[in-house]
Amino acid sequence: MFRTRLISGIVLVVCALALIITGGNVLLVSTLLLSIIGLYELMKALKMEKTAIAYISYLMTLFYYLNLKFRWISNPVVYTIIFLIVILAAYVLGFPKYSALNVMGGFFGFFYVSAMLSFIYLTRDIPVKGKYYVWLIFLCAWGSDTFAYCAGRLFGKHKMAPVLSPKKTVEGALGGIIGAALLTMGYSYYFKMQLNFQPRELILIGVIGAVGALVSMIGDLAASAIKREYDIKDYGKLIPGHGGVLDRFDSIIITAPIVYFLALTLVHRI
């Protein structure tokens, strides 16, 4: 199992490197595919993957990503309203075939998976510096996970969420946050010439790393909570040794938009 997990993890990193470095339409399409797969996994967990509500969510995901490319609708609120009207129409026309929980699941699933994952592409698409900022997402999420694991094994004593995740500790969480902050600062220092950073900006990048790490833990625990509630071990089997898209990207989902907006706010406006 460890060997399988290691090999698939290496392949995953190589694929991420290739797609993100390439960027553009390649990254857009690959993120779209990840979103649809992840959304399907969530709908399957909710036992509604083949319902009309789910298919509307898949189609709205496709339209959403096309809109990122062609910008037919510039105001995201307008898109949200359109989506809500369409999904409610399916609910009332098919009543009582679908429940209100189905509607909420389809609506939530789109934003939780598709919209949140799109911020990988949006961060990469930031003019000039986006190709550097985008890696902060993965450094925060996967970096904090590694540091949290090491700190938890070495110093962990106090359980953070004993019912939901008995192995996670407060000490591990602190280690993950501090580790991610240092990791993002080290990364930014290495690319300081390309990013044209001043010393105070490196400190702000550390803040982004710390906040991103904290949020990534919430994302990880939230995905675990859904699995526990619906009594499933993994969301899927796409990635050998890791599970599905949601199993591997559960922390990325929440971290991506946070890094995107913090990068714009804390760095671009200095």
Q: Which residue reads 């609120």 in tokens?
A: 77
SS3 state of residue 146: helix
Mean pLDDT of the region 188-211: 83
DSSP state of 169: E
Location of structure tokens 């400190």: 203
CA torsion 124-130-131-134 (nearest 10°) is -60
Residue 5 backbone phi and psi in degrees, to 5: -65, -40
Residue 12 reports pLDDT greater than 90: no
At 217-240, the pLDDT tens digits run: 999 999 999 999 999 989 998 887
- Asked whether 127 and 265 are in contact (CB, 8 A), the reply is no
Res 92: pLDDT: 95
Query: Tokens 């509607």 appear where?
Result: 103
Mean pLDDT of the chain: 90
Cα–Cα distance for residue pair 221/211, rounded to 1 Å: 16
Residue 270 in this model has a pLDDT that exceeds 60? no
183 has pLDDT over 90: yes
163-172 contact pairs (CB < 8 A, 24+): 164/221, 164/224, 164/225, 164/228, 165/221, 165/224, 168/217, 168/221, 172/148
Residues 6+ apart with CB under 8 A from 113: 35, 38, 39, 42, 246, 253
Q: What is the pTM of this model?
A: 0.93
- Exposed / middle / buried, residue 76 (Cβ in 10 Å: 0-12, 13-18, 19+): exposed
Lowest mean pLDDT of 19-33, 100-114, 136-150, 196-210, name the range.
Answer: 196-210
pLDDT of residue 53: 96
